[in-house]
Structure 1
């Protein structure tokens, strides 16, 4: 890499890492925030959902806007909005003010993340340099998601939950000052009108999908609001598909959506991201409710998984260069699934902590390799003018996966808990439900690897993903 490329990488990866931390940094602090600001119990979920809705719902739209109107400008606008939203959240004196800050952070994430990713892919040509850049990006994304909860717990316990917002401000200032000097849009912008009907339907569909899934954690899957939101999401997303087939200036050209690299890469990405994050939630409950660990200690217990994820992210580019993107992704899904299977051995004994440490570390090593591999595949073989769309799709997959995994496996765990019996019914039920959820996560990972091996192996598009170059 040239010195300029290293500086570009530092700016973009710094922003990506901060945005990843923001996703989970308030998870442990939610009860404290609720007590300090007077949230009702039913309103607490909005501290998380308020971030998720715009982050997932607007990502595809902003990814395409980056192609049309300039990636650097959108990235900088997202950073400025993040700074303002973080200041609002950090100074919040009421639930409404705090939620405004969280919604602003989510919207900033939807703006800045696909813009940063497309700037990354267009600043480095396909091949070893791009794989290395995406490897470092995947490492920091995984580390950011994992570190967020730990950092939130430390800040809340030692200082105040407000610092989980305010810590963003100096980073934003540095990025905004440096970015205009080193970042530039490569290639010509697309001179085209924005597909407004497509933008409305896909954004409405994704927002409905994310809200419907998020609401299941409190209301359950049979709630009329949940069913209505999921039904509306299906209707709007189907409408979006038909609009794109007929639009002269489609938001997401169907020919791109039909590419094997885009289709299979994003499918694998959803499994790679959703299953480990959801299983970690189950293991956090296990550590606290079965082994009686405190919240901060539970967060720190996953330090080994963060180290394994960093190792996987650093190794991934070399692995992809040696065996190809598709074999690397299949290997990653297999390792992830086998690591999750190891968690079936947890019980009430003190040795459970060691099982969690080792098995989650193995799963997160595969997870990190898979995160880099799917990103390489999903953005391969596309011209620069479509990189915003491609990175918007991959970012959208990440956000939906993070939203989808936990409530789905929580519902599975609840089902499994209902089958336990015995003198220690509560603990038996908890363990029974967790094991069933872990089993589903492991089987989903292994099945995705089998499907990739069986079906993603033909055509020129697939061969471009095969090489990762």
Structure 2
């Protein structure tokens, strides 16, 4: 598929701070939509007469479309122009959010959430690629990644808070109306502040590879999310996972043979992209589960209302923003490998603390302290792993690199949430035979947090060899990236934080 157009002449940004703020707001909006519905699920269930399975698909429909289409969205941004794709994604996202808030039936609501995910799959990689293109120096890019980490983590925690406030004050439709309004405001800011960039001249879109990997990821995420309710031995789950495996194998064969591959070999061979994506998948596997289980414990065990549950996420959000702000400085001081390892171990310690939850506990005793540790570790790890995932990437592949790292986080999250929800449900079911209901529920949550801590501890051990072994040198980069790197000053941020 030939995309030989060169509309929209590129122009340099005049106010990089304002541009970064607009792009960060786009990322915040995407992350907000991921978690804002969690607290409102009981009200949504009653409002549109959702079945038990339908309630889970209010969350799953968004995650399914988002995770499956991120690679396509990232490549489209590289070829068609990142600003154009970002604006189109924001418009689609805003329209779908409004439709979700106006929905009076389960089918319309779930379909609107899927379209929301489609818009998010265009927004996230395009915004990240534009943000990384703002700064050519290591220190500048480090600060940009710090902002990115802060808004990403704050979006997850802020979604729980805003969802609680809006649901209690005006009802569940306003969680979607507020997202729609926010997306429109961000769209206006992007149109006003972000300079135009050019579509790729004589570029070719890998349609076969894109369709193959999109269907594969759709089957994978659908199978994993369905397994949470139907079980891992369900025929539909096994069939979806088998199809996903076959299509992913076919995708590898297709990409090896195609001159204009969706994921060109130069992308995974640049810098430490593969290492960053592997570790991001492990981080994602506990990230989404955290914002799923913690509000449930607060509401179901501690009997906190939606507003109090949302407010309880504030310390985590503040710790997250603080961690993202200091991440580049920490990396310059102790090095990127030590920073990633320490951050993952810090988050693991917080999750291990959460694994000691009590059925007759309190927010201050059981949730507050570990939330702060988790927020600090999560944000610092996210900043450094995003840096790794875009390290040494040629400029023409920046959107795809952003799509890839978002895909690994989303797919990792789907795998982690499916596995941890199954584990928690099994532990609760077993405990229910001889313990009161709240004790059984808490036992399930404790098991999920314990395994999450173990996953992050394993990721920390992997980070040491992975982030050192693939160390980038100018001579190892592709020509485009080498030329770009040659213009940069040799500063400690580039050396230690893998930000270039």
- Do the structures match in fold with TM over 0.5? yes
Q: Secondary structure in 1 aligned to 2:147?
A: helix
In the alignment, what sits opposite 2:272? 261
Q: Does the residue aligned with 1:28 lie in a helix, a strand or coil?
A: coil
Partner of 2:106: 95
**Alpha-carbon distance between aligned partners in 1 of 2:258 and 2:44, rounded to the nearest angstrom:** 46
Any idea what the Cα deviations from partners look like across 1:220-247, whole Å, max 9, x if unmatched? 2121111111111111111111111110
Question: Aligned equivalents of 2:184 and 2:223: distance in 1?
Answer: 36
- Is 1:49 equivalent to 2:60 in the alignment? yes
Map 1:322-361; keep pairs closer than 5 Å.
Answer: 322-350=333-361, 353-361=364-372
Instruction: In structure 2, list runs of 5 or more residues that go unmatched.
Output: 1-12, 475-493
> In the alignment, what sits opposite 2:392?
381
Structure 2 CA distance for partners of 1:379 and 1:435, relative to 1, 3 Å = same
Q: Provide the aligned C-alpha RMSD in A.
A: 2.4
**Partner deviation per Cα, 1:430-465 (whole Å, 9 max, x = no partner):** 343333222211111011111111343124438978
Q: Distance in 2 between matches of 1:332 and 1:34?
A: 37
TM-score by length of 1: 0.93
The gaps in structure 1 that reach 5 residues or longer are none
Give secondary structure in 2 for the equivalent of 1:58. helix
Q: Is the 8 A contact 2:100 2:113 kept in 1?
A: yes
Alignment check: 8 A CA contact 1:16 1:140 kept:
yes
Once residues 91 and 41 of structure 1 are traced to their aligned partners in structure 2, the CA distance between those partners, rounded to angstroms, is 21
Cα distance in structure 1, aligned partners of 2:469 and 2:109: 50
Q: Closer, same or farther in 2 for the Cα pair 1:120/1:223, shift >3 Å?
A: same
| Conserved? CA contact 2:222–2:240, under 8 Å | yes
Identify the residue that residue 25 of structure 2 maps to in structure 1: 14
Q: Partner of 1:239 in structure 2? A: 250
The whole-number CA distance in structure 2 between the counterparts of 1:179 and 1:346 is: 43
What is the CA-CA distance between 1:324 and the residue it aligns to? 2.9
Q: Distance in 2 between matches of 1:30 and 1:292?
A: 15
- The answer to whether 1:410 aligns with 2:412 is no
**1:168 is the counterpart of 2:179:** yes
Which among 247, 251, 258 is matched to residue 262 of structure 2?
251
Match of 1:298 among 304, 309, 322: 309
Query: What does residue 208 of structure 2 align with?
Result: 197
Other-structure match for 1:468: 498
Q: CA 1:465 to 1:449, structure 2 compared with 1: closer, same or farther past 3 Å?
A: farther
Aligned counterparts of 1:341 and 1:406: Cα–Cα separation in 2: 17
Map Cα deviations across residues 375-411 of structure 1 (whole Å, 9 max, x no partner): 1111111121110111111111222233232221122
Q: 1:264 to 1:282 in 2, by over 3 A?
A: same
- Shift of residue 64, structure 1, vs aligned partner: 0.8
Name whichever of 107-116 and 427-436 sits farther off: 427-436
TM-score (norm 2): 0.87
